[in-house]
Structure 1
Amino acid sequence: MKREKGNFEFIKDPEDNKKNYIFQKDKITRNVTYFVSAILVLLILAVVFSNFFFK
């Protein structure tokens, strides 16, 4: 399979038939993005609160 150089799309629309994209615009991608964001926020809050308890 021959690779295309550059010309990558960041988000692929569902009706496009492109193969050079990073994320696909669908329900799974949106849910995973929310999940990862929530975990990151929880980790940041844990670091901030641990600073108060373990000075």
Structure 2
Amino acid sequence: MELGEENTELLKNQNDPTRNYILQKNKKTKIGASIITVILVLILVGIIITGFIFDS
């Protein structure tokens, strides 16, 4: 590997010896991503509902 060259991967499998990764493919990551997705959807729905309430 040359200086300044990185091969960062998005997901790491459990048996993969790679050290440069952002997320690990396991149960905690799936639960965390699900929770964040639900919160973002709730925020989006709240913004849409607020727009309809204040528009009328």
Distance 2:38 2:6 in 1: 32
Q: How many residues align?
A: 53
Deviations 1:2-35, CA, capped at 9 Å, x for gaps: xx73111110000012110000000000000000
TM-score, length basis structure 2:
0.86
For 1:46, give the aligned amino acid.
G
For 2:23, give the aligned amino acid.
F
Query: Deviation above 2 Å: which 4+ runs of structure 1?
Result: none
Distance 1:6 1:48 in 2: 41
Deviation at 1:48, TM superposition (A): 0.3
Aligned residues with identical type, % of pairs: 33
* 1:18 matched residue in structure 2: 18
* 1:49 matched residue in structure 2: 49
TM-score, length basis structure 1:
0.87
**Is there any run of 5+ residues in structure 1 with no aligned partner, and where?**
none
- Say what the alpha-carbon RMSD is for the aligned residues: 1.6
